[in-house]
Structure 1
Amino acid sequence: MSLNSILSAGQSGLTAAQMQLRVVSDNVANVNTPGYVRKVAEQSSLVSQGVGVGVEVTRVRLATDRFLQAATMSASAEAQRQGVRHELFDRIQGLFGDPGGTSGFFAQVDDMFSAFAATAEDPASSPARQAAIFGVQSLFDEGARISRQIQSVREDADGRIKSAVDRANGLLQQIEALNVQIAKATVVNEDASGAEAAQARLIDELSGILDVRVSQRNVGGVSIRTNGGALLAGDGFATLEYARAGVINAESSFNEIWVTEPRGQKRPLLDGVTSGEIKGLVELRDVDAPQAAERLAELLTRAADELNRAHNANTAVPAPQSLSGRNVGQSLDTALAGFTGNTAVLITDAAGVVQTRVALAFDGAGNVSVNGDTVPLSGFLAELNTKLGTSGTASFVDGRLTITAAASRGAAVVDDPASPARKQGMGLSHFFGLNDLITTDRPALYATGLGATSPHGFPAGQTLKLRLTGETGARLRDVEVTLPGGTMTDLLNALNDPVTGVGGHGAFRLGGDGSLTFVGSTTPPARLSVLEDRTSQSASGVSITEMFGIGGGVRASRADGFALRTDVARNPALLGLARADYATAVGARAFVSGDGRGGLALADAGQGSTKFDAAGESVGGTSSVSRYASELAGDVGGRAAVAKSRAESSAALHSEAFSRQRAHEGVNLDEELVLMTTYQQAFNASARLIQAAKDLYDVLLGIV
């Protein structure tokens, strides 16, 4: 080896040792810097013609482990997902109050029925009536408040989705800008560790927003993709787009989140997102909150219906002059079809003495006997008015049946206890809502009683736009159904058409009670929502969505539509606490003041079995209002507890993964001290080698 080679080797050793010491110095200086990743200088031997001629630092890199990094990013995404779900669902649970307390929402259910029990003991007591009325108002007002607040939580989640999308866009731009810097530094063999460290911090933040996959590029920097394969950064940066909905309510349909890849391809983001903040917010907004709202609405609907069932069998003393029903969403003859059994319309004076009695007997075959004269259902109204004479009138306008007594008279509808008039388990007064205690501004019961051959009542040509979404929340398909005229069978065929309807993803089914439900055929089943409803039934003016409760949104929206009947709220004497006798003849007293049988029926309304529809994660079934309220309390509390447990578990997992990553990537002062000593000795050795070569030069020059 020549002296020049010895000098060159020594010089390369000095340079390499200096670089190593500089890297160690940076590591020690940043030992307490949050997020700092330890640097490592890689060096290798210089060889010329098979002979070692020195050493060089080939590159300075970060001491990262891609497996630990991937585990930490995955844990971070899941921790953010579960964290936001717990945070927002905890707010929903708080709306209901303490399930076991005496002042929460669920306590008000029992308090209301207890108040009716007090009225039964003393029907003439004005304070008892007022307490019962206050209990009813309090329950349904509180239910409406909770329903609106749940929508506020959804609105908050939707706003945070928009913010998360904007933050992700900013991070992707910065990551791609650092990709360019790192690539340039790599080409000229410069130290790019600073840019790489900054990029790693940005990637960590991005992984909390949505789960991503990161791979190293040969030219330096990283490529980032979603789990669905959409390119986010690495060859330019992607752009995420989300347009928020306007005013958010239970029936709102939300826009999709789109990702436009660097080369212009546009695809739904949620197709490839399984965790992260955005995923958690979407799940809370589209699944957790709507399910809670649907179950609340179902509880209030059945509570209102059971109160109305009892109150329609009751009467105030004196009887009200007018019995005005609710919009049943059908023509009168269609609504009457299917009734069997007996009932009577009584017109009484102020003392409860019957002035006119009209007996009705339905045969279930399309006919009704009115005081012994049989007519088809289409002639029912005219025949009833004939038999009422001057004592009263009956009318049917906009889907509402109304019976009005003459001046100074009252009206009551009484079922035959031996063979009561019934359709779908409802009496005539109950079905039409003639003496409802709880009113609503929209259809709340979806058991229409329509059969396969019943006319649906919607004019041909009206349209209904539906959206089918998958488990991830990504859109599967939007369909616009054009309604045909004709029967319910014709309507089902149009809805289930495989091209213009929901066929291929599920089917609508007509229940025996006239309800219409969608059943998904895919695994997992697709979810259905209504984007636009331009339908209006001829007889009632209600839309097909409102009439059948299509989609969870319209069902959840029922919660804020219930209210105590206005005239009863103003005058507690109109609260029906008495019961009229069916067999009372004209000239006899049908009911008396002080009768508390109706009050007992209202108090027992919470204990009677009734059919609950599927709502949220509940499959429905037969239960009582009180029991369903208890189950809902347990469900809300249980889901909040599960959300908290998941959030804590995922946070602990992220903490463990982060700790292991930091243990590998962080600075250990003992290790750095050993390295510093090693490279100082290497520096000294290189310096001594140069000195030895110099001495040889001096000797040789002296000889010459």
Structure 2
Amino acid sequence: MSLTSILNIANSGLQTAQTQLRIVSDNVSNVNTPGYVRKIGDQVSLTSQGVGTGVEVSRVRLATDRFLQAASLSAGAESSRQGVRYELYDRIQSLFGDPGGDTGFFSQIDDIFSAFAVAAEDPVSAPRRQEALFRAQAVFDEASRVSNQIQAVREDADGRIQSAVERANSLLQQIEVLNQDIARAKILNGDASGAETEQGRMVAELSGLMDVQVTSRGVGGVSIRTGAGVMLAGAGAATLEYNRAGTVNAETSFNDIWITEPGGAKRAFADGLVSGEIKGLMELRDVDAPQTAERLAELVSHVADELNRAHNANSAVPAPGSLTGRNVGQTLETAITGFTGETTIAVVNPTTGAMTTEVDIVFSGATLTINGAASTPATFLADLNTQLGGAATASFTDGRLTLTATGANGIAIADSATTPTDKAGRGFSHYFGMNDLISTDRPAFYDQGLTATSLHGFAAGQTLTFRFTAESGMKIRDVKVTVPGPAGTVGELITALNSTGSGVGSYGAFTLGPTGELTFKGYGDPPARMSVLEDTTTQSPSGVSAAELFGFGGVRASRADGFTVRTDIRQSPAKLALAKLNLAAPAGTTALSTGDGRGALGLADAGQTTVRFSAAGDSPGGSLSVSRYASELSGEIGGRAQTARSRQLSAQALATEASSRQANFEGVNLDEELVLMTTYQQAFNASARMIQAAKDMYDMLLGMI
């Protein structure tokens, strides 16, 4: 072996030891750097014609394990998903206050009924009346606040989805740039470990936004796909697009997130998305929050309805001169049809409380009598005015029935004690809302007693556009349904809605229940979610839309912020109806008396009356009292928050364990690095001594010449 060969071998050993020491130095200096992956220099022997010619570092690589990396990315994505769901749902839970405290929302509902029980003890006490009204108004104000804040949380989630999409685009572009840098370094046999470390950090951040699959490219860098296999990076950066909805309410339909692959193909991003922050935000926005809002609306609507049920059975003293009902969303003929039982409309003297005129109405389905005279739903208004004989007048305008007494007299309505009126579970006065305590700006209940032959009141040619979305949040299809003619019956409308060609029949079916409630049940497991994208319908004579009348889409969840104590009663508590009309009072004797508190007891007991709740959120509904429903909802909200917390902790623990195992393999161990440092120092010294020995030999040979 020549001296030149010895020098070359020693020099290669010297350079290799220096490179390895530099790698060790980088590792030690980054021992506490989060996300830093330990570098490894792959050292190989050099040979020429079977003879050793030295040593070199063939490449500097990162100490990665693709299985540990995949497990860590997957666990991190799920942790982000569950973390953001818990964070936002916890905000929703906090809106209701402490369920076991005295100031929480649900305890305030019980306070209403307690206040009316106190008012019954002294029904003429203005302060007690005022306190009961204050308690009632406080609940509906709080319900409105909670409802609006739930939508604010959804709006926040929607905004964060847009921010996450923008961040994902930025990360994908940077990852693709680093792919090029790494590939260039590989071709030139350079050190790409710094770029690979930075790229790994970005991939980890991207996996927190969405679930990704990462594979190494042969030329260096990584290829990234979504869990559904859509290309994100590796052959160019994909681009995500999302336009947030702006102001969000319960009826908002959200836009899709679109992804344009490097090749130009455009797909729905949510299809196949299973974890990550974006998935968690979509689930909170589209599932968790809407379900809670719908349950809240169902509860508040029944609190209002049960107070109105009791108040409509009562009368103020003196009786009011006029009673105006709510908008029933139907013609009077349709609304009157289907009642059974007996009710009495009385004109009452304001001074003596005696009935001066009494009109008895007996319903029997499509037939009825007024003071014994036969009548029909079509002639009901004219026949009623005839029997009132000028003592009062009845009118029906814009879906509202109005009764007005002549002169200074008042109007009171009371059902028969033995055969009370009933249509879909509501009496005559209650159904029309003639003496409601709680008013609302929209239809509050949807079990209206309609049948397939009832006229729906919408003009032929008007349209409803429904949007169907998959469980993932991806839009499936928008379906426009046209109101059919010419008869305009509810049965015809249902047939048009359920058409597989021009309706929603491919995704589910609308059915009319025994109480006249129109409900939709989707096909599949899980079924597609339905919302109303556009509604151009207007009902005559009420002016309400089909979505409002039947409770399509998010309309049901929007009811909670529309209730208030009737303005005239709130301004004058004396108008609060706490007495009951005595139908058995002989002519000329008092039928309404000051100090009668029987009606207040009815209001106090309203929370314990068993009523039918519709399906709302993930609750199937059923028959139970308002107080029981409130208690169950309170427990459910707390339970869901606890479940979300448990899922978040479990996912976080799994992510921590996966990250810890990855760090143990990829991180820097100071003991190992110390051993390597000693080894390479000795190798460096050995190479240096070899060079010195070769020099000495050169000097000796030169001296011999």
Task: Give the TM-score, by structure 2 length.
Answer: 0.97
Say whether 1:489 aligns with 2:491. yes
Given that 1:356 and 1:586 are in contact with CA atoms closer than 8 Å, whether structure 2 keeps it comes out as no
Instruction: Provide Cα deviations, 1:24-43, integer angstroms capped at 9, x if missing partner.
Output: 11112222223221110112
Given that 1:46 and 1:52 are in contact with CA atoms closer than 8 Å, whether structure 2 keeps it comes out as yes
Aligned partner of 1:138 in structure 2 is 138
* Aligned-partner Cα distance in 2 for 1:285–1:113: 34
Q: How far off is 1:592 after superposition? A: 1.4
Aligned partner of 1:676 in structure 2 is 677
Aligned partner of 1:373 in structure 2 is 373
| Residue among 532, 535, 548 paired with 2:534 | 532
Question: What number of residue pairs does the alignment pair up?
Answer: 702
Say whether 1:208 aligns with 2:208. yes
Partner SS for 1:645:
helix
Letter in 2 for 1:262: P
Instruction: Provide Cα deviations, 1:538-594, integer angstroms capped at 9, x if missing partner.
Output: 22111110001111x211110010010111111111111111123445434322111
Partner SS for 1:430:
helix
* Aligned-partner Cα distance in 2 for 1:696–1:63: 42
Gaps of 5+ in 1: none
Given that 1:60 and 1:193 are in contact with CA atoms closer than 8 Å, whether structure 2 keeps it comes out as yes
Instruction: Provide Cα deviations, 1:492-549, integer angstroms capped at 9, x if missing partner.
Output: 2221222332222211111111111111111111111111111111221111100011
Given that 1:581 and 1:591 are in contact with CA atoms closer than 8 Å, whether structure 2 keeps it comes out as yes
1:198-597 alignment to 2 at 5 Å?
198-350=198-350, 351-364=352-365, 366-485=366-485, 486-551=488-553, 553-584=554-585, 586-597=587-598
* Aligned-partner Cα distance in 2 for 1:375–1:127: 45
Q: How far off is 1:701 after superposition? A: 6.7
Aligned partner of 2:106 in structure 1 is 106
Q: Which stretch of the first structure deviates more once superposed, 326-335 or 11-20?
A: 11-20
Gaps of 5+ in 2: none
Partner SS for 1:272:
coil
* Aligned-partner Cα distance in 2 for 1:214–1:430: 63
Q: How far off is 1:697 after superposition? A: 5.8
Q: Which stretch of the first structure deviates more once superposed, 388-397 or 494-503?
A: 494-503
* Aligned-partner Cα distance in 1 for 2:566–2:163: 43
* Aligned-partner Cα distance in 1 for 2:135–2:31: 64
* Aligned-partner Cα distance in 1 for 2:647–2:163: 24
Given that 2:508 and 2:523 are in contact with CA atoms closer than 8 Å, whether structure 1 keeps it comes out as yes
Letter in 2 for 1:654: A
* Aligned-partner Cα distance in 2 for 1:448–1:625: 19
Q: Which stretch of the first structure deviates more once superposed, 485-494 or 694-703?
A: 694-703
Q: Which stretch of the first structure deviates more once superposed, 581-590 or 664-673?
A: 581-590
* Aligned-partner Cα distance in 1 for 2:603–2:26: 79
* Aligned-partner Cα distance in 2 for 1:609–1:327: 25
Aligned partner of 1:659 in structure 2 is 660
Partner SS for 1:270:
coil
Partner SS for 2:225:
strand
Aligned partner of 1:32 in structure 2 is 32
* Aligned-partner Cα distance in 1 for 2:195–2:509: 55
Q: Which stretch of the first structure deviates more once superposed, 325-334 or 262-271?
A: 262-271
Aligned partner of 1:640 in structure 2 is 641
Aligned partner of 1:127 in structure 2 is 127
Letter in 2 for 1:373: A
Partner SS for 1:374:
strand
Letter in 2 for 1:669: L
Instruction: Provide Cα deviations, 1:662-696, integer angstroms capped at 9, x if missing partner.
Output: 11111111101111122223233334445555566
Given that 1:352 and 1:589 are in contact with CA atoms closer than 8 Å, whether structure 2 keeps it comes out as yes
Aligned partner of 1:174 in structure 2 is 174
Partner SS for 1:594:
coil
* Aligned-partner Cα distance in 2 for 1:441–1:407: 30
Instruction: Provide Cα deviations, 1:90-125, integer angstroms capped at 9, x if missing partner.
Output: 111111111111111111111110111111111111
Q: How far off is 1:700 after superposition? A: 6.7
Q: Which stretch of the first structure deviates more once superposed, 689-698 or 603-612?
A: 689-698
Given that 2:155 and 2:246 are in contact with CA atoms closer than 8 Å, whether structure 1 keeps it comes out as no
* Aligned-partner Cα distance in 1 for 2:112–2:29: 69
* Aligned-partner Cα distance in 1 for 2:344–2:5: 120
Partner SS for 1:538:
coil
Letter in 2 for 1:192: A
Identity %: 64
Partner SS for 1:286:
helix
Instruction: Provide Cα deviations, 1:631-659, integer angstroms capped at 9, x if missing partner.
Output: 11111111112222222222222222222
Partner SS for 1:185:
helix
Partner SS for 2:516:
coil
* Aligned-partner Cα distance in 2 for 1:582–1:225: 77
Given that 1:357 and 1:586 are in contact with CA atoms closer than 8 Å, whether structure 2 keeps it comes out as no
Letter in 1 for 2:77: A
Partner SS for 1:160:
helix
Instruction: Provide Cα deviations, 1:290-339, integer angstroms capped at 9, x if missing partner.
Output: 11111111111001111111111111111111111111111111111111
